[in-house]
Amino acid sequence: MVVFLHELRQNRLVVTIWTLSIAFFLATCVMLFPQMKDSMGDLNASFSSMGAFTEAFGMDRLNFTTLIGFYGVECSNIIGIGGAFFAAMIGISSLSKEEKDHTVEFLLTHPISRDRVMAEKLLSLVMELVLMNFVVLLVAIASIRMIGEDIPWKEIFLLHGANAFLQLELVFLCFGISAFLKKHGFGIGLGIAIILYFLNLIANITEEAKFLKHLTPFGYADAADLVTEGKMDVTQICFGILVSVLVTLAGWIRYRRKDLP
């Protein structure tokens, strides 16, 4: 597990910064809830009648005056966007950064196979996501406790669980794409995350574009759907994971015979 531990060590600063940033903004958001709750009566009606904007963020189905409604609209977006960007970034740079920085020559002229390098790198990415999500979940629970609200365990686990699957899907997808790149590819990774996010917003706005929900992991991580239905769309999660695994597999095959600089 030399490469696995090396990767964790190499990425420790990035993981720490992203984890603390997401956790900080999440906690700040939760802390705002008591203040917002008191002045929310009229605002809730306003937020519920803003047409496309309301539908895009699921505010027509979530009650802003309840903790889980507020958490679903505000906090879930922080985890969703922050987590997706983080996953896309670490996934897309995992293999390509070694080529861009020419460190791949050092790594692969040691007695270690490309299969093993890819497996250990992928495992380290999954571990980084687990660590990030664990800390963010703990901070979320602690923050809710601090403002004296009851913890809606089921919904919290649903929201955080679905976002973890979303990040997993993105990290596999970007890792697979990373095998085809020679440069860093940050732009590609972040671009993928942004496009997938907006696909879900568009799907929420119009009935005609509803099918887009099935093309993006943000579809099954949509807080309004999760809270109102009380369950994850397992079929869509499986479909998403399958697609990202296929892309990873394609990248894996490519990387095994790739000309390395």
Instruction: Give contact residues for another protein (rule: CB under 8 A).
Output: 2, 6, 10, 101-103, 105-113, 257, 259-260
Q: Kindly tell me which of 10 and 63 has the beta carbon lying closer to another protein.
A: 10
Contact 47, 64 (CB under 8 A): yes
Shortest reach from residue 134's CB to another protein, in Å: 25
Q: Kindly tell me which of 107 and 135 has the beta carbon lying closer to another protein.
A: 107
Shortest reach from residue 186's CB to another protein, in Å: 17
Shortest reach from residue 187's CB to another protein, in Å: 22
Q: Kindly tell me which of 90 and 170 has the beta carbon lying closer to another protein.
A: 90
Q: Kindly tell me which of 98 and 155 has the beta carbon lying closer to another protein.
A: 98
Q: Kindly tell me which of 124 and 163 has the beta carbon lying closer to another protein.
A: 124
Shortest reach from residue 10's CB to another protein, in Å: 6
Q: Kindly tell me which of 154 and 183 has the beta carbon lying closer to another protein.
A: 183
Contact 162, 233 (CB under 8 A): no
Shortest reach from residue 258's CB to another protein, in Å: 8
The 3-state secondary structure of the chain reads CHHHHHHHHHCHHHHHHHHHHHHHHHHHHHHHHHHHHHCHHHHHHHHCCCCHHHHHCCCCCCCCCCHHHHHHHHHHHHHHHHHHHHHHHHHHHHHHHHHHCCHHHHHHCCCCCHHHHHHHHHHHHHHHHHHHHHHHHHHHHHHHHHCCCCCCHHHHHHHHHHHHHHHHHHHHHHHHHHCCCCCCCHHHHHHHHHHHHHHHHHHHHCCCCHHHHHHCHHHHCCHHHHHHHCCCCHHHHHHHHHHHHHHHHHHHHHHHCCCCC
Shortest reach from residue 3's CB to another protein, in Å: 8
Shortest reach from residue 114's CB to another protein, in Å: 9
Taking Cα atoms as reference points, which of 62, 13, 67, 101 lies closest to residue 225?
62
Cα→Cα distances 69→21, 74, 135, 200, 202, Å = 22, 9, 22, 19, 21
Q: Kindly tell me which of 111 and 148 has the beta carbon lying closer to another protein.
A: 111
Shortest reach from residue 222's CB to another protein, in Å: 39
Q: Kindly tell me which of 51 and 111 has the beta carbon lying closer to another protein.
A: 111
Contact 159, 26 (CB under 8 A): no
